[in-house]
Amino acid sequence: MKNAIKVALGLALGLSIFTATAVSAEPVSRPLDFSTQMTPSFPVPDSAGAYVGTLHLSFASDGSVSGWYRAQDAGPVQAVVGGLTGNKIWFDIGNEPMLPAATAFGRGGTLQVTGTLKDGRILGSAQDGSSWLAFSAQQQSSSEQSQ
């Protein structure tokens, strides 16, 4: 009888811990897709051309941001991890060189983006080592996202 009570209490405790863990997971918003453009600003001027791609982001209620990025011209999908406080957003793209700008001007690796998110636009800058790029992203409409 004592063993049966211990087993029942153990199961109840284990179930309550599992339930608490499952309930505490942060809800994530519906993912949003953005069309991106990055233009070298230092050390190469704007005349070097723009790098375009797609940014897919999800936002959790705790302020964390996650998703992926893909350059339009080529390359693998790169992981995106960051955060959002108010309208200030920051995130890292990838962990290896992914853009011609990253390999041509910088040391390669993670591209660090900081900016503001307002009215479906992200405006800011991206840095890879000593290279800086002007960064902009426009949220795609629902019809663009479903294509």
Task: List, in order of start, the domains of the chain with CATH numbers.
Answer: 32-145 (2.40.128.120)
If pLDDT is split at 50, 70 and 90, which confidence band does 46 have?
Answer: low
Position 47 scores a pLDDT of 59
If pLDDT is split at 50, 70 and 90, which confidence band does 103 have?
Answer: very low
If pLDDT is split at 50, 70 and 90, which confidence band does 87 have?
Answer: very high
Which one has a higher pLDDT value, 21 or 54? 54
Q: Give the number of other CB atoms < 10 A from CB of residue 113.
A: 24
Alpha carbon of 124 to those of 3, 38, 52, 54, 79: distances in Å?
A: 63, 10, 15, 16, 19
